[in-house]
Amino acid sequence: MELRTLGRTDIKVSALCLGTMTYGEQNTEAEGHAQMDYALEKGVNFFDTAELYAIPPKKETQGRTERIIGTWFQKTGNRDKVVLATKVVGRTGMDWFREHGNGASLTRAEIEFAVDRSLKNLQTDYIDLYQIHWPDRNMSNFGANPTRWAPPELHEDENSIESTLEVMADLVKSGKVRHIGISNESSWGTMRYVTASEHLGLPRVASIQNTYNLVNRTFETGLAEIAQRENVGLLGYSALAQGYLSGKYRNGALPAGSRKVLFDRLQRYEHPRSIEAYDAYFSLADEAGLDPAQMAIAFAKSRDFMTSVILGATRMDQLENDIAAADVTLSSDVLEKIDTIHQDFGNTAP
């Protein structure tokens, strides 16, 4: 498994990262433990979670994923073998994250509460990468650069990026957090974090976790250059477009136990042009003799701004197939044909 440097830190992370958001909802504790065992055995040393998880978010399952990872650490003693990333929620109206029951935002008290609870859930005394799950401010398009601008509603009590960095700096000084990252951020927000850290002597963001896949390459529009020049590497999620690029929903299939069947929350990826784009990518994979999921993951992994591609699976055979993409290198011919398809269809699921 290829190892890559996380930002400007001295940490090396695997080019594939184990996503865990299904643990505690679609996956049992035992299944989550088995996935972590397998991933570590295959050289995946990077696990990503969040205080929000399991997905879909709800009061009954909030924090359950972190607790499953914590029991695995306690059982196996493998904490020192894993680069552990988790996240604190941004501003939200969901009222079960904090004891006051009034939603959440990125105030000092709420970030400190969140990190202490995550440490307890994870049964560890430090987090390698602590990420802001989404901004305190409203965004024009969640998780991607907008292809069309929709003016967001501004909050009068917005917590500034500078104030957030000050809290994160104290967490780093305390030893609870080693490094920090951002998620679902824009080009403006990312550069604001970078310049604030430089001007104020605060910790530098090491990574950005945003959507990136064959039908959403909006990261390339403005963020890719920042990632490359400022060493804020991408941790790309939804590399398989929530399963659509794996082919499991091909020709209208609805596999039992899939997120589409259980939760019907995949509308972002169901535009008619997206369905046409998937078919074009599937045809290319068939032509090249490639598994479509592995082609999609290998493409994301091949980008020079990508630090690690986050994988999520509910079944072990899915995880095995996805991790095997670590050994897949796409030819220049396939890469050119991918670009040709993208030129025809563009970002159909931004």
DSSP characters over 216-271: B-THHHHHHHHHHHHT-EEEEE-TTTTTGGGTTTGGG---TT-HHHHH---GGG--
Instruction: Measure the CA angle with vertex 105, ends 101 and 111; round to 5°.
Output: 95
What pLDDT score does 283 carry?
Answer: 98
Q: Give strand ranges (E) for 69-219.
A: 83-88, 127-132, 177-183, 205-211
Residues 6 or more apart whose CB falls under 8 angstroms from that of 350 comprise: 141, 144, 145, 146, 147, 216, 218
User: What's residue 265's pLDDT?
Assistant: 87
Q: Phi-psi category of 79—alpha, beta or left, where left has phi over 0 and alpha has psi -120 to 50?
A: alpha
Predicted pLDDT at 241: 96
Could you give the CA distance from residue 179 to residue 177 in angstroms, rounded to a whole number? 6
The per-residue pLDDT for 143 is: 66
Residue 102 has what pLDDT? Answer: 86
Domain boundaries, the chain: 3-345
Structure tokens at 286: 């068939």
The reported pLDDT for the residue numbered 150 is 86
Cα(first)–Cα(last) distance of the chain, in Å? 30
Q: What is the pLDDT of residues 258-284, one digit of tens each?
A: 999 989 888 999 999 999 999 999 999
* pLDDT under 50: residue ranges of the chain: none
Residue 266: what pLDDT? 87
CATH fold of the domain at 3-345: TIM Barrel (3.20.20)
Kindly report the pTM of this predicted structure.
Answer: 0.96
Distance CA 188, CA 28 (A): 39
Which residues belong to the active site?
53
